[in-house]
Every structure is written in C-alpha cells, then in structure tokens.
Amino acid sequence: MPRATFDRLPGVAARVAPPLTGRALTTAAAPVKRQTFVFLDADPVPPTLRAPRADNRLPLLLDEAARLFGVQGFHGTSIRDIVRAVNMLPGSVYYHFATKDLLLAAVYAEGVRRISERVKAAIDGRSDPWERLEAACVAHLEALLARNDYAQVVIRVQPADVPSVAPRLVAERDAYERLFVDLIADLPVARSVDRRSLRLLLLGALNWTQTWYRPGRDGPRAIARRFVDLLRTSIARE
C-alpha cells in the first residue's frame, strides 16, 4: 500500500505516516492519492533560521521619552504619553525596560554620553590648561543652550527625584564631572584655591545660564569664554 510522504523543512525531522486505514480504503481498487504533509517535531528550529525580534523603535522610544521628560518632567510623564507618539502598546515598553525609572536611567545615560563626547572632542589636541578648560565650557554650554532633549533631562532631573535609580544617575553625573575635575586639577593656580569649589562654581554658572539666556545676544561660546576669563584673571597664579 502506498504511504503518504512528509516534506521536510530545514532543521525539522521528517517522518513517514502509517498506512492509510479506515474510510480512506473504501474499495481495494480506489486510487490512493499521494498526500503531502508538514510535521513539526518538538525540536526547535535552529537559531540561524529564526527571524530576529525587531527593536528598531528603541531609539525613537528614547527620543520621545527624553523630549517628554524634559518638557513635562519625569513624574508628569506617563508611559502612555511616551508610547502614544511612537505607535507602541504600553506593554511593549517593558520588553526593553521593566519600569519607567529604568527608562529614565537609559535616557539620562544617553544624555551624559552625548555631552561627554562633545567635551572630549573639544579638548582633544589642546595642551594649554586654560584653553582646554575654555573649550570644555564652550562645548558644555553649547549642548545645553541648543535645547537638546537629552541634555535637558540631565540638567533638570535630580537623582533624588527617582530614588530607585538614584545611584545610577549619580554615577553617570560623577563620571561626566570627572572631566572637569581633571581639567581644573591641571590649572596653574595658587595652592590656596579650593579646586572643588571652583569646579562647582563654574558648572553651576554654566548650568544656570539656560534660565536667563536669550538668543540674539552673546552666544554660548562668548558666554563660556567670559566665565573662564573671569576665573583666570581672578585666581591665576602670577
């Protein structure tokens, strides 16, 4: 008696069906048609044959989260607010981030990374300590006053606002400020100068600029240079 055959898929074992019985054999002379079946074994399909899970909306998700966190604040923004703009279901966010707090941490880290890269690029190749500090301040201020969404999150969201990820935010902030710790440590100033206070004073002045800055007057470069010139003329070692 002819047997039905089973076409084989790549990575799937083929099996042979038992002889046809019952109603399929109503008469001895009845022709038996060749039937083709696909039988899936319990063995999984090799990983190389699986389509990867698409996550190409992750950058868009981060961008929208940065925009809303910067405008509405972290606590004023819901997951639904964010996913609505990127055409995602609220539950889809949790494939990438288990909580909104962790989504914030990712946005914050990306913001720090972007500002850090600008500062590092600005000081690269410079040797004079005051010129290096000035270039870093210009890059920092340009990032803030460009109203970049990620930079706004870094400046406006305080670690204490989100206790569950506060240690991560503090670590990111400290890693960035280490750039200025090193820059100020290289300055030729009197030993009596408290370099930590100098760093906090300078970064505080730069960060506060966004509250009073108005386009059309001095730009970020001119403002940053003026700040550094004030420090240099006041504390530079003779």
Query: 71-82, pLDDT tens digit by residue?
Result: 899 999 999 999
Query: 151-185, pLDDT tens digit by residue?
Result: 989 988 999 999 999 999 999 999 999 999 999 99
Q: Give pairs for 52-57: CB < 8 Å, separation 24+.
A: 55/95, 55/96, 57/86, 57/87, 57/88
- Look at residue 58 in the predicted model and tell me its pLDDT: 86
- Phi/psi for 27 (5° steps) reads -140, 150
- Look at residue 3 in the predicted model and tell me its pLDDT: 52
Query: Do strands 5-6 and 36-37 pair parallel, antiparallel, or not at all (unpaired)?
Result: parallel
- Look at residue 94 in the predicted model and tell me its pLDDT: 85
What's the predicted TM-score (pTM) here? 0.72
Task: Name the β-bridge partners of 228.
Answer: none
- Look at residue 147 in the predicted model and tell me its pLDDT: 78
- Look at residue 84 in the predicted model and tell me its pLDDT: 87
What's the CA gap between 93 and 65, in Å, rounded?
A: 11
pLDDT tens track, the chain, 238 positions: 555 444 444 444 445 445 544 444 444 455 555 555 444 444 444 433 333 344 577 899 999 999 999 889 999 999 999 988 888 888 888 888 999 999 999 999 999 999 999 999 999 999 999 999 999 999 999 998 887 899 989 988 999 999 999 999 999 999 999 999 999 999 999 889 999 999 999 999 999 998 898 887 888 999 999 999 999 988 876 5
